[in-house]
């Protein structure tokens, strides 16, 4: 789900596992139009081929948009000893494809992070443990459930509250649409596949290359309605 050795969203939650540290910037789901409720997503998380945890994305309808509850839990063990423990929870309110509020708390192996927000003249005022700033215009986190919106100039890291500039590219590989994101401490590949029944584009996997040469993988386990 993947900043400077800090775990995002998604968000996704960006993702780094090096010298006992993971970073994550992940957040995710299916392609939607403004006002539509995304489907819930459930992922198993792997370090290389070893399962280390889960990341779930639960959506609910609220007035003038929808709410995302994202919860990630990773634990890296070697010979039964826990070397890394990561817990992340965030709540986001989305309206017209823009982020209207965010509240997140993260414990990354004992390092704690928090992000909160308030609307000020229609702009999002972001507060972290280190600073407060106002994001101009439409703010978006790592909105993996809406792949077209990933092609924004900046995306908000839901763990650190940092606005990150990205380089984006995409390609088709058979039935897969592959989107690649790169930036500060970030090298992510996302896989999407169109559901033949609903016609919706669904996020199926994430592959994040880590500093030590290993790979963090998100693998979809259950997609409601597919």
Q: What is the pLDDT of residues 16-65, one digit of tens each?
A: 333 333 333 333 333 445 457 898 999 999 999 999 999 999 999 998 89
| Closest alpha carbon to 37 in 66, 70, 68 | 66
Domain count, the chain: 1
Residues 6+ apart with CB under 8 A from 175: 193, 194
- The pLDDT tens digits for 150-176 are 999 899 999 999 999 999 999 999 889
Tokens linked to 73: 């839990």
| Res. 128 pLDDT band, cuts 50 70 90 | very high
Asked if residue 51 is part of any domain, the answer here is yes
Question: How far is Cα 97 from Cα 104, in angstroms, rounded to an integer?
Answer: 19
Task: Give the pLDDT band (50/70/90) at residue 213.
Answer: confident
- Please check whether residue 41 is in contact with residue 82, taking contact to mean a CB–CB distance below 8 angstroms: no
Taking a C-beta distance cutoff of 8 angstroms, is the pair 54, 44 a contact?
yes
Q: Work out the percent of the chain whose per-residue pLDDT is above 90.
A: 60
Beta-carbon contacts of 174 under 8 Å, excluding residues fewer than 6 positions away, are: none
Assigned domain for 22 exists = no
Domain encompassing residue 185: 41-221
Using alpha carbons only, give the angle 175, 181, 183 rounded to the nearest 5 degrees.
170
In a domain, 4, yes or no: no
pLDDT digit string, tens, across residues 116-125: 999 888 889 9
pLDDT of residue 131: 94
Instruction: Answer whether residue 2 is part of any domain.
Output: no
pTM: 0.80
- Is 186 inside a domain boundary? yes
């Amino acid at each position: 789900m993947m900043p400077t050795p800090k775990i995002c969203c998604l968000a996704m939650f960006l993702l780094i596992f090096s010298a006992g540290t993971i970073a994550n910037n992940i957040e995710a789901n299916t392609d939607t139009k403004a006002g539509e409720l995304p489907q819930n997503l459930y992922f198993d998380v792997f370090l290389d081929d070893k399962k280390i945890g889960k990341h779930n994305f639960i959506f609910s309808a609220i007035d003038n948009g929808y709410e995302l509850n994202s919860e990630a839990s990773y634990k890296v063990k070697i010979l039964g000893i826990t070397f890394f423990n990561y817990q992340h929870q965030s709540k986001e309110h989305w309206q017209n494809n823009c982020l209207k509020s965010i509240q997140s708390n993260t414990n990354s192996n004992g390092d704690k992070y928090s992000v909160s927000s308030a609307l000020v003249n229609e702009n999002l005022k972001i507060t972290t443990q280190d600073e407060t700033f106002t994001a101009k215009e439409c703010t978006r986190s790592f909105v993996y459930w809406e792949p077209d919106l990933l092609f924004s100039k900046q995306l908000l890291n839901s763990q650190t509250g940092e606005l990150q500039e990205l380089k984006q590219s995409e390609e088709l590989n058979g039935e897969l649409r592959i989107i690649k994101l790169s930036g500060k401490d970030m090298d992510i590949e996302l896989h999407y596949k169109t559901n033949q029944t609903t016609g919706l584009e669904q996020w199926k996997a994430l592959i994040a290359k880590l500093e030590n040469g290993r790979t963090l993988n998100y693998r979809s386990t259950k997609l409601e309605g597919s």
